[in-house]
Each structure stands twice: as structure tokens, then as C-alpha cells.
């Protein structure tokens, strides 16, 4: 690398953002990590990352759009004048496979990611004459705090409504993320590629289910994809029940073993 890049990463307090900040800092870049929970970024600061407290939050639907869409675009507006003046720069927006697909009871979240996809595509054409790249990262299932938070909010909002049965099934699917989701480092590697590639692709994707989901959305009709997603949700709910039963049996055996051990001591 001829000279270090100045890089701003939002959502850097955990998961993909934190992993990416550490990788890019280790490469010798000047990295700024921004998040609401600055107390969770002490390890970033120790590694040399400049940590910033940024909070753009409000209530649920508005909250999701403020964080995932308006916050992203406001930061973009702030950095574009400098990038245009120097006639170079790269904006990397983290979308999701949720920006291309959908699932029940996820309208707000999926809506924000669809918005990022469309806005990034338009932005890419607008800033290309200034030598600025716009790249979209589309993670699949990644082991972060997101799934647990999403499950709790889903059950709190919809668990006692007409959508209760769906909420339980979708919640079960989210609960399986900790067992089967990919490590955040998978996406951090993509982020580093998007930073370093001389001619970056417009999109990069990786993570659990990413290729399968995007391929399905590309080739299946809406109704066919609806059925595929419904089947996935139902299957996840059944698998979650089996997993819970196994965990209970394992816990019971451990308890019995503990009792017998205590009795012989």
C-alpha cells in the first residue's frame, strides 16, 4: 500500500463493523470507528482505531430507517464534497441479502436494506464522473448480536397478536443463527477486498445462505420464492424444537450425573 487510507466504519462496536475495523487498522490504514456504545470499543481504541460516539436513533420503524438509511446517506453527504474535490474515494455500504429477498414479519428491516440497495445503485452512477466508487456488501446469516435482538423485538411486538404463530416460527429461525451462522470475519474479509481491489465489484456477498437465497430470488417467481421462504421458516421452527429437546435431555443427564457425583463425595 503506497499510503494509508482514511476509513470511517459505522456500527463498529460489535460484529462485522468491529472485525472490519480491526483488519483494516492492522493493514496500516487510519480507521475511525463510530457507534452508539463507545464503551464497547475500548479494544478498538487499544488497537489504534479512532473511536467516535454516534447516535441517530428513535422509535422502531423510524428508528430502523434512521439508522440503516438516513444515517448512512447523511454520512455520505458529509464525505462526498471532499471526495469530489480530490477526485477519488470509495463508499462501501453494508446492505444484506435482505436487500434482495424477504421474509415474514421483517418488513421494516427488509425495507431499509432494499432502500440501501436502490440508493447505492443510483449514487454509484451519480458519483462515477468524480472518480468515486460505490460498493454494496450483502451478508447472509452472520453470527452477531442482530439475530438475538431481532428475535426479542419480534416476540415483544408480535408475540401476542394475530401474527403470533408466525412470530414464534420466525423467532425460532432467528434463534438458530448462533448455531449455524457464519463468523463475522467472513464479511470483514469481503470489506477488506472491497477497500483494496483496484477495480471493485459493485456487490460482494458471503455468509450462511447468501448464495442460495440470492440465486433463488433471481430465478424463482414471487410465488415460488414465497413457498421456499415459508418452507424455510417452518423447517427452522421444527429444527429448533428438536434442538431444544436435545438440550433439555443433555441438561437432564448432566443434572443427574451431578447429583450422583455429589452423593459419592
Known catalytic residues are 109
Rounded CA-CA distance 175/177 in Å is 5
- CB-CB contact of 35 with 41 (8 Å): yes
What's the alpha-carbon Rg for the chain, to the nearest Å? 21
Axis-axis angle for helices 164-175, 146-158 (nearest 10)? 170
Rounded CA-CA distance 86/92 in Å is 18
The C-alpha cell 482514511 sits at: 6
Amino acid at each position: 500500500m503506497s499510503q494509508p487510507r482514511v476509513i470511517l466504519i459505522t456500527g463498529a462496536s460489535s460484529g462485522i463493523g468491529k472485525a472490519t475495523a480491526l483488519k483494516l487498522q492492522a493493514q496500516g490504514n487510519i480507521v475511525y470507528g463510530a457507534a452508539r456504545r463507545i464503551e464497547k470499543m475500548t479494544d478498538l481504541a487499544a488497537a489504534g482505531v479512532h473511536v467516535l460516539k454516534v447516535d441517530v436513533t428513535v422509535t422502531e420503524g423510524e428508528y430502523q430507517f434512521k439508522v440503516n438509511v438516513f444515517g448512512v446517506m447523511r454520512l455520505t453527504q458529509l464525505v462526498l464534497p471532499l471526495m469530489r474535490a480530490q477526485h477519488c474515494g470509495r463508499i462501501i455500504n453494508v446492505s444484506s441479502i435482505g436487500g434482495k429477498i424477504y421474509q415474514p414479519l421483517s418488513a421494516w428491516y427488509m425495507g431499509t436494506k432494499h432502500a440501501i440497495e436502490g440508493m447505492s445503485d443510483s449514487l454509484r452512477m451519480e458519483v462515477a464522473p468524480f472518480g468515486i466508487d460505490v460498493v454494496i456488501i450483502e451478508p447472509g446469516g452472520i453470527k452477531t448480536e442482530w439475530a438475538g435482538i431481532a428475535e426479542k423485538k419480534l416476540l415483544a411486538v408480535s408475540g401476542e397478536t394475530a401474527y403470533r404463530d408466525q412470530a414464534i416460527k420466525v423467532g425460532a429461525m432467528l434463534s438458530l443463527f448462533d448455531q449455524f451462522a457464519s463468523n463475522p470475519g467472513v464479511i470483514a474479509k469481503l470489506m477488506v477486498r472491497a477497500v483494496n481491489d483496484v477495480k471493485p465489484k459493485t456487490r460482494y456477498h458471503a455468509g450462511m445462505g447468501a448464495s442460495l437465497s440470492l440465486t433463488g430470488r433471481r430465478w424463482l417467481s414471487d410465488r415460488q420464492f414465497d413457498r421456499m421462504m415459508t418452507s424455510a421458516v417452518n423447517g427452522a421452527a421444527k429444527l429448533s424444537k428438536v434442538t431444544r429437546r436435545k438440550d433439555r435431555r443433555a441438561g437432564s443427564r448432566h443434572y443427574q450425573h451431578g447429583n450422583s457425583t455429589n452423593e459419592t463425595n
